[in-house]
Amino acid sequence: MALVAAVKDILRSNPPKNVDDKLIMTLRNENVFAGIERNGLNEPVATTLEIGHAGSSLAFAFGGESDGAKRLSDFMDILFTKRRDTVFVVDELDRSLYPMLMAQIVKLFADVYANDRYQLVFTTHENDTMADELFRRDEVWLVDRSEDGTPVLYPPFFDSFNLRSDVRMGKQYLEGRYGGVPILSTTRALSAIEGNR
């Protein structure tokens, strides 16, 4: 019941200040996705998310869903927020999602907030995200390691106006032209494994 305790702590530390005060939050764990809403001095109302699958009239518990389906719920706050001038930062946006689904989420975000001041900043290991249909070249940045292991953030296409329009950024990235591609030395790995047997 850690989720219930977390809700109680949040409500206790954010008491309503007046009758117009409003609190909306979502919380989740592996088994439950809950929405909590409190209007003014009224008691909070909790709702839980159940999943409906195409072709079925049944509702499925959140806890029985795949990691990818649960991961989709993480984007509800982002897509339905009413906070203005917000920057959303998501680590590993592609975690547990099909690459095509991740691209659809990014496009949906861009469409929903096309006329607003919102920004989505995310990390990913999915190179197909570099597609020209999703981003301008100045919006793609990479992280590489310096000689001492410190992460360095840099724009690989800084001089993008000199790149031909038919250049496939994701393909060139995988070819190692921009850095940021980890290389595993199988020879060293096998030697280390053999040495520990």
pTM of this prediction?
Answer: 0.67
- Note the pLDDT of residue 181: 67
What 3-state DSSP class applies to 130?
Answer: helix
d(CA 87, CA 68): 23
Q: Which residue did the predictor score with more confidence, 176 or 43?
A: 43
- Among 36-45, 103-112, 150-159, 166-175, which stretch is predicted with the lowest mean pLDDT? 166-175
Confidence grade of residue 180 (pLDDT, cut at 50, 70, 90): low
Q: What is the pLDDT of residues 25-79, one digit of tens each?
A: 888 888 888 888 888 888 888 888 888 888 888 888 888 888 888 888 888 878 8
d(CA 76, CA 147): 40
d(CA 97, CA 66): 10
- Nearest CA to 169 out of 123, 129, 130, 124 is that of 130
What does the pLDDT average to over 91-112? Answer: 88
- Note the pLDDT of residue 165: 62
Q: Which two tokens stand for residue 141?
A: 């940045």
Q: What is the pLDDT of residues 119-157, one digit of tens each?
A: 999 988 887 777 667 787 778 888 888 889 898 888 876
User: Does residue 161 surpass a pLDDT of 70?
Assistant: no
d(CA 97, CA 128): 13
Q: How many residues does the chain have?
A: 197
d(CA 176, CA 149): 18
User: Does residue 22 surpass a pLDDT of 70?
Assistant: yes
- Note the pLDDT of residue 121: 92
Q: Which phi and psi (to 5°) does residue 55 adopt?
A: 85, 0
- Note the pLDDT of residue 8: 83
User: Does residue 172 surpass a pLDDT of 80?
Assistant: no
Classify burial at 24, counting beta carbons within 10 Å of its beta carbon; exposed 0-12, middle 13-18, buried 19 or more.
Answer: middle
Given the DSSP bridges, would you call strands 33-39 and 50-52 parallel, antiparallel or unpaired? unpaired
For the chain, the average pLDDT equals 81
Report yes or no: 16 and 44 within 8 Å, Cβ to Cβ: no
What 3-state DSSP class applies to 8?
Answer: helix
Other CB atoms closer than 10 Å to residue 105's CB: what's the count?
21
Confidence grade of residue 182 (pLDDT, cut at 50, 70, 90): low
Q: What is the pLDDT of residues 64-74, one digit of tens each?
A: 888 888 888 88
